[in-house]
Amino acid sequence: MTKKPVTAKKIGVLMGGFSSEREISMRSGLAIYQALKELGYSVEPIDVDRDIVNVLKKSKVRLAFLALHGGTGENGAIQGMLEVLGIPYTGSGVLASALAMDKAASKKIFIYHGLPVPEFIIVESPKGKKKAEALPNPSFQFPCVVKPASEGSSIGVSIVKEEGQFRPALDKAFSLGDKAIIEKFIRGKEVHIGILGDRALGGVEVRPSLEFYNYEAKYTSGLTEYIIPPQIDDAVFSELKEKALLAHNALGCSGATRVDFMLDAENRPYVLEVNTLPGMTGTSLLPKIAGSAGISFGGLIEEIIKIAAKEGK
C-alpha cells in the first residue's frame, strides 16, 4: 500500500540563490527534490534568481521547501517575500532567521537566556571601507577565531595564533560583510545537536582532519570523522540536548535546526550558533543525526513539511 503524501499542494524546492553557499544549496535542494519525487509529491526544483517572484507565481507553487543556505536565503529576506506572497514555507520565520544569521545578535540573546558562549567582541569595518584600521584588543589571548558576523558553512573563518595573522583574518572577514566577530578559541570536542520541532533528535561529534571544521572539511568526503552518538558522558550529552532546544526556542526557531557546540577540556559547553536551514547533502549532519534517531532522509523531509503545513507561515 502506497503511503499518502502529507500534502497534495505543489511544493517548490527553493535552492541556489546568490550567497557564497550556492553550490551546497544546490546539492541540498536536489537531494530534497529527488526524495520528494520518490515519495509521490507534486514538486518542482526552483533555482532562486532575481526573478523569483515571477517564477513562483508562474509555477503555482503552494508550499516552499527552503534549501537555501546563507545570504538572503537564510537571513529572513526570502521568508519575508514568501509571507507577502502568501506561500507557506519550511524552517524558521523572518525574525528567527535574521537573528540566527547575525551571530552578534544571536550571541546576545543566548547570554540573556543564560546560555554559555565563548568570550567575544564585535568589530565593525570602518565606514566605506572593507579593511580594519586599528587592530582590536580582546581581553582573551591567542589563539582566537575571527569570523564574519553573517556567514555560514565556516566561510571567511580564520584561526588566529599570532598577531601577524590578525589583520589578514579581519580583512578576510570584512570582505564578506561590515561586521566581524573575534571569539576566544575553545580547544576541545565539537558536537552538533539536531532539533526537529519541539525535540532534540540526538547529536554528532565531528573530528576534522584539518585545523578546524571549515568549508572544505564539511563538504569533502573523507576529511571529517563523524561519531554518532558523540563520545561524551551521558550527563553532558543530556545537557547539550537541553541547551540546544533552549537556544532554538530563544531565537524563536521552527522546523529543523542544528545547534553547534564546543566542549572544553572540562566538558563545559559553549553555544557557537544555530543553523536555521541546515545542509541536506550526503555529508550533512542533520540527516545523519535523524538517521541515528530512526528517521530516514525521506521521513525527515516529511516531518519538516508537516511542521510547515501546520504552522502555515
Hey, which residues are catalytic here?
A: 21, 153, 219, 258, 260, 273, 275, 279
77's CB contacts (< 8 A; 6+ apart) are none
Q: Are 100 and 108 in contact (CB under 8 A)?
A: no
Sheet holding 256-263, edge to edge: 224-227, 199-208, 189-196, 256-263, 269-275
Strand, helix or coil for residue 53: helix
Give the span between the Cα atoms of 248 and 307, in whole angstroms. Answer: 15
Give the span between the Cα atoms of 215 and 231, in whole angstroms. Answer: 23
**Mind giving me the DSSP string for 219-235?**
HSTTSEEEESS-SS-HH
Bridge partner residues of 257 (DSSP): 195
Q: Alpha helices of the chain — where are they, by DSSP H?
A: 22-38, 52-59, 71-74, 77-85, 94-101, 103-112, 166-174, 215-219, 234-250, 285-292, 297-311
Q: Are 9 and 62 in contact (CB under 8 A)?
A: yes
